[in-house]
Amino acid sequence: MATIPARPLLASVLVALVVSAASAADSKNNPADQLVAFINSNRTANKASTLADNQGLGCIALQYIKAYQGQCNQVGENKKPIESSFTDTFAPNCGVQVATLSKITGRLLACQSNYMPPDQAFDILVNDAKSLEVLHSKNHTEVAAAVSGTSGGGPYFWCVLFSSGKPNTSFKVDGGGMPKSVRPGCFSGNNDDCMGASAAVSIGVATWKLVAALVSSVAFAFAL
C-alpha cells in the first residue's frame, strides 16, 4: 500500500484564521463541526474553495479513529487502517451505502494525551509542509472531522478526511437519514450537540487490522 513518508513534527504553523460560522446543518456545540469551520476558513483565506461537510464521511472518520484502538504510537508512517476497512467495516457500521463511497483524497490524524479545543487541534493537525499541502489541495470537494477519547479519557484522537466525491450524492446514509449512532465520540455534519471532552470519550476495543510498522507520533498527514 502506497503511503506518504512521515516528516518530523514542527512547531505549530502560525496561521491567520477568521473562523466563519458553521453551516446551518452544523451544531455550535460540536467540536468536530468547529474544526471543519477552521479548515474551511483557512482554505478560503488561502484562495482555496470551501468544502462541503458530509455527515456520512464524518461518521467514517470516527470509525477510522476507532481502528487505532486508543494507541497513539500507531499514528505515524505506514500505520493506517487497511483500505478494505472502508467497505467492510466503516461504511456498514455507519449505515453508509457502500456504492456511494468516494475516493479519500487526504487524511489528517492527531493524538494527544489531553483533550484539545478545536483551534489547538487544528494547530497539531496542520504542523508542517505536508499537512498544509493536504489542507489546501484542489483535489478535495468534501471534508469531515471526528474526535474521540479512549477508555473514559485520554488519549484523544482527531481525524479529518477529505474526499473528491460529489456533495449530496457521496457517502449516502441508508434511508436518507442520519448515520447510525456510533457514540461515544463526535463527528461533523450531523447537527449533533457533542460538546467537548465529556462527550468524546471511551472508544472501546476494536478488532480492525492496522498495517505496517509501529511508529510513535502525535500527528500525521496522508495525501492520496
Q: What is the pLDDT of residue 211?
A: 40
| Structural domain range at position 185 | 31-223
Q: Tell me whether residue 88 is in a domain.
A: yes
The count of structural domains within the chain is: 1
Q: What is the pLDDT of residue 204?
A: 38
Q: Is this model's pTM higher than 0.85 or not?
A: no
Q: What is the pLDDT of residue 8?
A: 32
Q: What is the pLDDT of residue 223?
A: 55
* CA-wise closest residue to 170 among 192, 191, 142: 142
Q: What is the pLDDT of residue 6?
A: 33
Beta strand 186-187 with 52-53: parallel, antiparallel or unpaired? unpaired
Q: Tell me whether residue 12 is in a domain.
A: no
Q: What is the pLDDT of residue 5?
A: 34
Q: Tell me whether residue 20 is in a domain.
A: no
Whether 62 and 149 have beta carbons less than 8 Å apart is answered as no
Q: What is the pLDDT of residue 128?
A: 93
Q: Tell me whether residue 119 is in a domain.
A: yes
Whether 223 and 133 have beta carbons less than 8 Å apart is answered as yes
β-pair partners for 222: 107
Query: What are the mean pLDDT values of the chain's consecutive 10-residue runs (224 residues total)?
Result: 33 31 51 95 96 96 93 78 95 95 96 91 94 96 94 87 95 85 81 62 39 40 57
Q: What is the pLDDT of residue 140?
A: 98
Q: Tell me whether residue 104 is in a domain.
A: yes
The CATH number given to whatever domain includes residue 201 is: 3.40.33.10
